[in-house]
């Protein structure tokens, strides 16, 4: 049975499992980070966290950054992020890895136990903690350090103007919807009496009171709830681009003003309830849509919270710590080792090793040299570096990415634009029919009032609310069900091609595999002596391979003590060091075959070839004597093997196209039971594969994460990237898997199939209603009251049908 880490619940590594005693019971951990966090949680008496967490997986505790006093407690940070409220300070802290109720509980409990903290309230949907503290008792850096100690990643946060506007828009819609709901609720009671009166008779005085009350209730709904539509209809008329809001307003205004006419003349029936009901339904749809947009935006914001709060700049030879958003173009910015880069810039230092995993998805650091571009949001692995700022804020690559996502989320999908076009022509037809109904009634010798009633009947029954709701209501539900699974459909136009996907192309590194190195095999001689040497050397390096080996050898840290006399990191080669213990001096090299073959030709017992092994092979040479090797490999993501089986039932073909070596790709595909794979692929090769498939008429989905996949993602019928693959790949993809869960590939295809079906059904329902009711109304067979009833019924049918999508989607596991 597969075992999981006691703390994070991710699967345990095959080798080097860490154990520790928690509450007198021996537990297993995936790494020492998880063990130390679990011990701390237990020491604080917060073991209830593990009961609450259940089987939910949280992030592995890979690193525990220390938040320095000068960085967080500086005046510039306080000025920007902290609000003073009497004797207390308050701020928002964004935590980027909150996954479940246990995370909410733990953070709130632990923070509230800090002396001086009076309020700690976590908002799960945004991942933000609102915190109030007494600055004389505790500093912001202490709060940050406590959050980091329990395994979470805190960032300071200030809502942008855009975000504030988005929140106020959601509240505004809610308020307008509530007004319509109250109006509708009140009118239902009155209308029930009026309906009874219509069939059984009612005293004219009573009827008049009911009419007046209805008018009183419906007027604020018509004016306040309907204001966004009235405004939109006005501008659509002004710009001569009639839209759905115009039709909605025409229909509702006819019903409203006719009802006002009836109220004061006692001739006929009122339709104030229709006014409230239609506004309530439409606003309800818009509110749900706004909530979904806000939720996805919050998730994206939490992922993009990569810029440090404050930074050091060099001004007139002096180091100044300022808020990161005060950095200007051409400023010289100093970035200490381990910190994130706050702006786009040009490297001034001779060289730097930076982690651009948010750009490329590759976890290996990239070596940059003087004059190279360094991107905002990436991390500096080396010692302190200097950069000259070239772009700040929204101009930077990270800022640009954010605006691309926001823009795409506000675009209307093609299918919605098409129904609006249909509605545009529909308006003309309806006007012709209403003129026909009016003239026909008069020609037949009936009164002017009868002609007006017939015309209103036509306009009410023709109100294409159902047609207008057919696509957006389905898309809203689609967005909701997708968002619940961590899927963002960036471009809603792809719903249709997504449903027809028949070939999936998968990138390997970072997509199929975790993109993190693990030691899969260890063949080192004399472990008790050699491991402490490796531990001592790798502790000093920030390279991902060094980090993996450091974690792997950590258990032997104290078995023998070594001191480093000399150490040199060789980019692309490994690390060379001179160590000394109490008696002897050692010359140690940890690195790859290439370097050994080129520079250390006389190593004894060095094997001739590594070809039979798959993965990164790291050799250890001590005093020119070969001591063995580590094989590091990227592991296939949890559960992806089962997922591939399910995907095979959904599409005709799944292929892997990777830049890795044949052996590595072959091994991965063998494990996944995938027969079609190509290795050593450059971006142009990937495009060639895609072109060939598309020329054969296939609808191809590309799943990738790095810059090398960006072109294929853009060219594929559907491009899917995930959380780790940021910027370029997100820019070029249509679907983003925000939870990094590849099940999203299958879910997105299945949901799009359901959505396409529902859209077709909804359009047919609305057309069927209008085709039956319009002729009846035009020839005077329908009273406005029946028309309003059927018109509302058609909208309700469409909405109910859209909601069925949610039920159907829940069946997909």
Partner 1 sequence: MNAILISIPIAFALAALGFVTLVYMIMKGDFDDIESAKYRIFFDEDEDKK
**Binding interface with partner 1 (CB under 8 A):** 48, 52, 100-101, 104-105, 108, 122-126, 167, 171, 174-175, 178-179, 182, 185-186, 189, 206, 209, 213
478-to-218, 490, 648, 663, 747 alpha-carbon distances in Å: 32, 12, 23, 41, 11
Residues 6+ apart with CB under 8 A from 553: 531, 532, 534, 535, 538
The tokens for 442 are 């008069």
Q: Which is nearer to partner 1, 216 or 429 (CB)?
A: 216
Give min distance, CB of 785 to partner 1, in A: 22
Nearest one of 492, 496, 512, 493 to 504, comparing CA atoms:
512
The Cα 394–Cα 160 span in angstroms is 12
Q: Which is nearer to partner 1, 159 or 393 (CB)?
A: 159
Give min distance, CB of 27 to partner 1, in A: 21
Q: Which is nearer to partner 1, 189 or 432 (CB)?
A: 189
531-to-16, 32, 574 alpha-carbon distances in Å: 12, 16, 16
Q: In what order do the strands lie in the sheet with 379-380?
A: 366-369, 351-355, 379-380
The Cα 395–Cα 174 span in angstroms is 34
Give min distance, CB of 768 to partner 1, in A: 36
Torsion, Cα 513 518 520 526, to 10 degrees, reads 170
Q: Which is nearer to partner 1, 172 or 653 (CB)?
A: 172
Packing angle of the helix pair 743-778, 640-650 (nearest 10 deg)? 40
The tokens for 729 are 């790949």
Q: Which is nearer to partner 1, 521 or 739 (CB)?
A: 739
The tokens for 772 are 């039956």
Give min distance, CB of 190 to partner 1, in A: 8
Give min distance, CB of 582 to partner 1, in A: 52
Give min distance, CB of 15 to partner 1, in A: 36
Give min distance, CB of 113 to partner 1, in A: 13
- Strands 88-95 and 128-134 come out as antiparallel
φ and ψ at residue 87, rounded to 5 degrees: -85, 0
The Cα 147–Cα 66 span in angstroms is 11
Beta bridge pairs of residue 567: 577
Give min distance, CB of 105 to partner 1, in A: 6
Asked if 370 and 348 touch (Cβ cutoff 8 Å), the reply is yes
Q: Which is nearer to partner 1, 130 or 431 (CB)?
A: 130
Q: Which is nearer to partner 1, 186 or 792 (CB)?
A: 186
Give min distance, CB of 724 to partner 1, in A: 24
Q: Which is nearer to partner 1, 276 or 512 (CB)?
A: 276
Q: Which is nearer to partner 1, 209 or 764 (CB)?
A: 209
Q: Which is nearer to partner 1, 125 or 447 (CB)?
A: 125
Asked if 247 and 468 touch (Cβ cutoff 8 Å), the reply is yes
Q: Which is nearer to partner 1, 76 or 158 (CB)?
A: 158
Give min distance, CB of 71 to partner 1, in A: 29
The tokens for 556 are 């032997």
Strand residues in 23-127 grouped as ranges (E): 25-29, 83-85, 88-95, 117-123
Give min distance, CB of 199 to partner 1, in A: 19
Torsion, Cα 129 134 139 145, to 10 degrees, reads -40
């Amino acid at each position: 049975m597969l075992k999981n880490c006691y703390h994070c619940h991710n699967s345990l590594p095959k080798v080097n499992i860490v154990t520790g005693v928690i509450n007198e019971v021996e537990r297993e951990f995936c790494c020492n980070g998880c063990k130390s966090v679990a011990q701390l949680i237990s020491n604080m008496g917060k073991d209830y966290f593990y009961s609450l967490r259940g089987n939910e997986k949280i992030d592995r505790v890979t690193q525990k950054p220390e938040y320095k006093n000068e960085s967080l407690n500086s005046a510039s940070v306080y000025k920007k992020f902290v609000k003073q409220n009497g004797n207390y300070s308050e701020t928002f802290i964004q935590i980027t890895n909150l996954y479940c109720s246990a995370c909410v509980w733990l953070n709130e409990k632990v923070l509230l136990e800090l002396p001086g903290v009076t309020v700690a309230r976590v908002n799960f949907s945004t991942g933000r903690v609102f915190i109030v503290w007494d600055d004389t008792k505790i500093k912001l850096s202490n709060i940050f350090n406590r959050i980091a100690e329990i395994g979470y990643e805190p960032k300071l946060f200030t809502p942008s103007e855009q975000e504030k506007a988005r929140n106020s828009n959601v509240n505004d819609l809610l308020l307008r919807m509530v007004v319509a709901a109250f109006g509708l609720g009140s009118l239902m009671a009155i209308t029930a009496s009026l309906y009874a009166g219509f069939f059984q008779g009612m005293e004219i005085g009573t009827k008049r009171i009911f009419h007046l009350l209805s008018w009183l209730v419906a007027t604020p709904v018509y004016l306040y709830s309907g204001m966004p539509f009235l405004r939109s209809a006005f501008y659509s008329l002004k710009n001569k681009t009639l839209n759905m809001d115009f039709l909605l307003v025409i229909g509702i205004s006819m019903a409203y003003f006719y009802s006002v006419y009836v109220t004061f003349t006692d001739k006929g029936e009122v339709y104030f309830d229709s006014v409230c009901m239609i506004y309530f339904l439409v606003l309800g749809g818009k509110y749900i849509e706004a909530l979904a947009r806000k939720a996805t935006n919050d998730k994206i914001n939490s992922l993009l919270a990569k810029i440090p709060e404050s930074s050091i700049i060099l001004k007139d030879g002096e180091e100044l710590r300022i808020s990161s958003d005060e950095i200007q173009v051409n400023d010289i910015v100093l970035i200490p080792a381990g910190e994130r880069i706050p702006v786009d810039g040009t490297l001034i230092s001779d060289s730097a090793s930076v982690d651009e995993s948010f750009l490329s998805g590759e976890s290996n650091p990239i070596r940059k040299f003087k004059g190279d571009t360094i991107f905002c949001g990436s991390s500096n692995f080396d010692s302190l570096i200097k950069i000259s700022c070239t772009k700040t804020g929204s101009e930077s690559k990270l800022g640009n990415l954010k605006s691309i996502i926001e823009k795409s989320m506000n675009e209307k999908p093609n299918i919605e634009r098409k129904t609006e076009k249909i509605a545009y022509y529909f308006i003309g037809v309806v006007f012709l029919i209403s003129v026909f109904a009016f003239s026909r009634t008069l020609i037949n010798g009936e009164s002017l009032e009868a002609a007006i009633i017939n015309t209103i009947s036509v306009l009410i029954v023709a109100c294409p609310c159902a047609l207008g709701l057919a696509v957006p209501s389905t898309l809203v539900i689609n967005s909701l069900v997708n968002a619940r699974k961590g899927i963002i459909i960036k471009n809603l136009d792809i719903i249709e091609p997504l449903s027809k996907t028949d070939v999936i192309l998968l990138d390997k590194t970072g997509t199929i595999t975790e993109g993190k190195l693990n030691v899969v095999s260890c063949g080192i001689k004399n472990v008790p002596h050699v491991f402490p040497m490796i531990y001592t050397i790798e502790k000093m390096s920030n390279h991902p391979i060094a980090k993996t080996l450091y974690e792997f050898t950590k258990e032997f840290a104290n078995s023998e003590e070594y001191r480093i006399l000399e150490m040199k990191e060789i980019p692309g080669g490994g690390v060379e060091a001179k160590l000394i213990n109490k008696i002897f001096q050692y010359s140690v090299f940890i690195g790859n075959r290439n370097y050994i073959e080129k520079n250390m030709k006389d190593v004894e017992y060095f094997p001739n070839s590594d070809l039979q092994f798959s993965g990164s092979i790291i050799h250890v040479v001590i005093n020119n004597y070969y001591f063995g090797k580590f094989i590091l490999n990227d592991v296939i993501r949890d559960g992806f093997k089962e997922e591939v089986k399910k995907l095979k039932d959904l599409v005709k073909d799944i292929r892997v196209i990777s830049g890795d070596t044949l052996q590595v790709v072959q091994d991965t595909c063998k494990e996944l039971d995938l027969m079609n794979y190509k290795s050593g692929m450059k971006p142009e090769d990937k495009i060639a594969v895609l072109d060939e498939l598309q020329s054969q008429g296939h609808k191809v989905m590309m799943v990738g994460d790095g810059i090398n996949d960006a072109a294929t993602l853009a060219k594929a019928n559907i491009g899917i990237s995930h959380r780790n693959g940021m910027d370029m790949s997100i820019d070029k993809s249509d679907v983003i898997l925000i939870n990094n869960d590849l099940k999203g590939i299958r879910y997105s295809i299945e949901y799009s199939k359901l959505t396409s079906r529902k859209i077709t059904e909804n359009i047919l329902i609305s057309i069927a209603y209008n085709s039956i009711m319009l002729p009846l109304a035009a020839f005077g067979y329908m009273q406005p009251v029946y028309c309003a009833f059927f018109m509302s019924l058609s909208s309700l049918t469409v909405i109910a049908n859209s909601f069925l999508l949610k039920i159907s989607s829940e069946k997909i596991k």
